[in-house]
Structure 1
Amino acid sequence: MPVNPPPRQYLSNAIRKRGSALLHQQCWLWGQDIKRAEGNLLLAHGFERARPPDGVAGSSQYTLAVAGDLSVRLWGFGIYFGAGIGIFLNRFEFIPREARRSDLWQAREMSALPRAKDFSLLAQTLRWIGAYEAWVLRTLGPEHRKACLVGWPGAATSHCLIAEAWNELAAQVERSQPIPGAAGCRIAPAKARLTYNPHTPRKERTHGRSRGSRAAASV
């Protein structure tokens, strides 16, 4: 007997609007973290940096291993999250797209990606960003993010509430998506979901590639 594929999932306009504003701002904040006078904060957090090959224009990419086989990859134009096949979010559109973790350097190389068939990784992506922002606040205090947002017009949220905003958005996504094959059911409660606890930062590296480290995960 043939099995019907699960229905395509959609994000509400409210979630997409909020996600777009937060992600556009977040990419700016990561850029400020990279340019921090005291040293590149992404490298301090454990990311590995790779620059475009000689003669190729584009954005550097920063990669971090997180829980299990999952990894995060950041560019100036968006974020990848997954294990091999994952999702990509462009900073200018909050639409999850299926993507592989590939060495790409320009946003146009990601423009033809198909929309994700489900959003099982989306909430994890948002919670990882929330965990990163909680680490920034805990490590550097509120003044760092406050200073970062001085040059950003129309901040999407207060500098002290960025982590909370991402976690709230993740919860909205989780509540809106049914469990495949279980009509009327919703995604598991928060205490049963994977969360991320960013590690204590290592000493920064200032040249070449810096190896990423794994952030602890708990259930």
Structure 2
Amino acid sequence: MSKSQNPTKEKDTKSYSVHIPKNIQVEWSRLFTKQLYGIGKDILHKDNLLLQYGFTRERPPNSNEGSSQYSFVDKTGKIILWGFGMVCATKNDGLFLGRHAFGPKLLKVNSLLPNIWEPDQVSHGILPETTEETLLMLQLLVKSIKWLERYENWVLSICGESYRNESLQGMHSRGVPHIRLDKKWSELSEKFAKILRGNDVLCQ
């Protein structure tokens, strides 16, 4: 179905674009897709870098159906990773980020199933509509970006820049100049923080 034939997707995109410029949405999407590709390679590392970082792993009952779930909890909240996306959560509120397009959905942590293997099992996600929901979305976006930056810094400290460059080479990037994901996330974090500050001012 083409974009012009998908009114729901058009409505969602328009809603996000009120607050987040389209070019920043595209930049996030490209970087996030690349990041999850790199994380997939980290899982295949001989030491499974996600487990080494402190994640716990739950595999789907049928290994041929669904994606393993990796969860990491610390005092600031929770990160859940799958091949199809990510949840960044505080104690009560979470944000689901899908892999291939910018479309963050807010959700309540207590609405999540304990084990999720497929995207359609991430239930009750909503498009932010109110001012409060928009601010929460932006806050959780900044939180998720800052975590991804920290994770990339950790990968570089453990495995070095050459490892990360090699781990990204299979993703339509042969012959493309190397990028530093940590630096890109840092730059994007500043852009979203600026958008957040602007929305914060409008709410005062």
What TM-score results when the alignment is normalised by the length of structure 1?
0.71
> What SS does the corresponding residue of 1:104 show, helix, strand or coil?
coil
Residue 106 (1) aligns with residue 118 (2): yes
- Going from structure 1 to structure 2, the CA distance change for 1:112 and 1:151 (only over 3 Å counts) comes to same
Corresponding letter in the other structure for 2:72: L
Contact 1:137 1:160 in 2 (8 A): no
Query: In the alignment, residue 61 of structure 1 is paired with which amino acid?
Result: Q
**Which structure 2 segments of 5+ residues have no match?**
1-14
Q: CA deviation at 1:39?
A: 1.8
- Decide whether the 8 Å contact of 1:145 with 1:159 is kept in 2: no
Structure 1 runs (4+) deviating above 2 angstroms are 7-10, 53-57, 99-103, 108-113, 157-160, 177-185
Identity %: 29
CA displacement at 1:146 relative to structure 2: 1.4
Distance in 1 (alpha carbons) for counterparts of 2:154 and 2:179: 12
Do 1:63 and 1:72's aligned partners in 2 also have CA atoms closer than 8 Å?
Answer: yes
Aligned with 2:149 (options 130, 139, 146)? 130
Which of 52, 57, 71 is the matching residue for 2:65? Answer: 57
Amino acid at match of 2:150: A
> Matched residues in 2 for 1:115 and 1:158: separation?
35
User: Structure 1: which 5+ runs fail to align?
Assistant: 1-6, 186-219
How much is the aligned-residue C-alpha RMSD, in angstroms?
Answer: 2.7
Amino acid at match of 2:116: L
TM-score w.r.t. length of structure 2: 0.76
Identify the structure with the greater helix proportion.
2
Matched, 1:46 2:54: yes
- Secondary structure of the residue aligned to 2:66 is coil
Following the alignment from structure 2 to structure 1, what is the Cα–Cα distance between the partners of residues 29 and 177? Answer: 16
CA distance in 1, matches of 2:200, 2:167: 44
Cα deviation code 1:143-198 (max 9, x no counterpart): 1111101211148x96551101011111101101246664388xxxxxxxxxxxxx
Q: May I ask how many residue pairs the two structures share in their alignment?
A: 176
1:81, 1:87 within 8 Å by CA — same for their partners in 2? yes
